[in-house]
Amino acid sequence: MARTPAVATKLPEVGTTIFTVMSALAVEKNAVNLGQGFPDFDCDPKLLEAASRAMAAGHNQYPPMPGIPALRDAIAAKIETLYGRSYDPQAEITITAGATQAIITAILAVVRPGDEVIVLEPCYDSYVPNIALAGGSVVRVPLTPGTFRPDFDKIAAALTPRTRAIIVNTPHNPSATVWTEAEMRRLDALLAPTEVLVISDEVYEHMVYGGARHESASRFPGLAARSFIVSSFGKTYHVTGWKVGYVAAPAVLSTEFRKVHQFNVFTVNTPMQHGLAAFMADASHHLALGAFYQRKRDLFRAGLAPTRFKLLPSQGSYFQCVDYSAISDLREEDFCRWLTAEVGVAAIPVSAFYQGGYEQRYARFCFAKKDETLTLALERLAKL
């Protein structure tokens, strides 16, 4: 009889993610889905036309392994204009299948069994399994409870001779905090005497509010020299399903990155790269993105203000976290299930972003939604 051999799982702690669970529950209960982080509106039609034109023009075969030159040139020009750092598009910029593939590729390129990698919790859910797949040890350092600011004494205490890298994410998912220049400088100073690399997850780089600026690691020479800077066109251009992103890193790091990249994806979708390169020539979309999302954030926050939710600051990203302790004593996942099933609005428990499931009575909403979607959600949440 045919028999599938037994497989010992490499990732025993990984099951169905909370995003999948809450999205399925939202469909079943006909809830407004403010859980998973993606827009419910379409991208600029000009971007669709640019990608379609590329397909019609025959750009449908493998592109160069690191990405098409026009897109790498456009990214290098953008980074130089915004953050003042010059990356060589030939040697230092690589197009990836979204930020997710960029992050795992960077980790596989530099982390060996026995190496330690610091993650600041709460954090995006792919980091920990990625480190495990590379055979590294995850060193979890909490962001300060309540404010989610980085605690440099704790980070310093976590550094050991085995520390290979630290993963930093600003603007931050899920907390919506944005690192300040002073915080980036402290990180720079802390790492200066070490051999520690930085994986700087900057996928929300254009979503920063209230006049603050995005402190890319590329702005700081000491950090830039040790960083893989990761970004995502999915977030910036409302095309999360295209899965195109990039990594900017010094040539020695990019060389190692590309050794892994060429054997885990080899290349990334050709016509989308052409479409993005053409669309990026006009900077107005990414320059206006902060104002675009700040208006949605303000609409959402104003609608929640009369409720018993306590609003945490949302300085960047497209997330708004709330403290629901005045409404319910339920644990975070139970509260989010209740909110989805009984109130008709799906949210994500912040505890899902901690390995140990730390409980604070916080839920995360995504406001990257049409105004009518946000208004419908707010109507339902108003009774709380």
Ligand X SMILES: Cc1ncc(COP(=O)(O)O)c(C=O)c1O
Residues that bind ligand X (CB under 6 A): 37, 98-100, 124, 169, 173, 201, 203, 232, 234, 240, 243, 245
Which residue, 163 or 232, is less far from ligand X as judged by CB? Answer: 232
Which residue, 35 or 245, is less far from ligand X as judged by CB? Answer: 245
For residue 164, which of 226, 219, 249 has the smallest C-alpha distance? Answer: 226
Which residue, 103 or 327, is less far from ligand X as judged by CB? Answer: 103
Which residue, 173 or 315, is less far from ligand X as judged by CB? Answer: 173
State the minimum distance, in angstroms, from the CB of residue 234 to ligand X: 4
State the minimum distance, in angstroms, from the CB of residue 8 to ligand X: 28
State the minimum distance, in angstroms, from the CB of residue 17 to ligand X: 11
End-to-end CA distance of the chain, in Å?
58
CA distances from residue 228 to 201, 223, 258 in whole angstroms, order as listed: 8, 9, 12
Closest residue by beta carbon to ligand X: 98
Kindly report the number of other CB atoms within 10 A of residue 97's CB atom: 18
Which residue, 37 or 271, is less far from ligand X as judged by CB? Answer: 37
State the minimum distance, in angstroms, from the CB of residue 95 to ligand X: 12
State the minimum distance, in angstroms, from the CB of residue 241 to ligand X: 9
State the minimum distance, in angstroms, from the CB of residue 327 to ligand X: 26
Which residue, 42 or 195, is less far from ligand X as judged by CB? Answer: 42
Which residue, 247 or 277, is less far from ligand X as judged by CB? Answer: 247
Which residue, 200 or 270, is less far from ligand X as judged by CB? Answer: 200
State the minimum distance, in angstroms, from the CB of residue 1 to ligand X: 41
Which residue, 98 or 316, is less far from ligand X as judged by CB? Answer: 98
State the minimum distance, in angstroms, from the CB of residue 204 to ligand X: 7
Sign of CA dihedral 317, 319, 322, 328: negative
* The pairing of beta strand 362-366 with beta strand 137-142: unpaired
Long-range contacts of 278-285, Cβ-Cβ distance < 8 Å, separation of 24 or more: 278/50, 278/53, 278/54, 278/70, 279/44, 279/46, 279/47, 279/50, 279/237, 280/71, 280/74, 280/75, 280/78, 281/74, 283/78, 283/81, 285/44, 285/236, 285/237
Which residue, 173 or 216, is less far from ligand X as judged by CB? Answer: 173
State the minimum distance, in angstroms, from the CB of residue 228 to ligand X: 13
State the minimum distance, in angstroms, from the CB of residue 7 to ligand X: 26
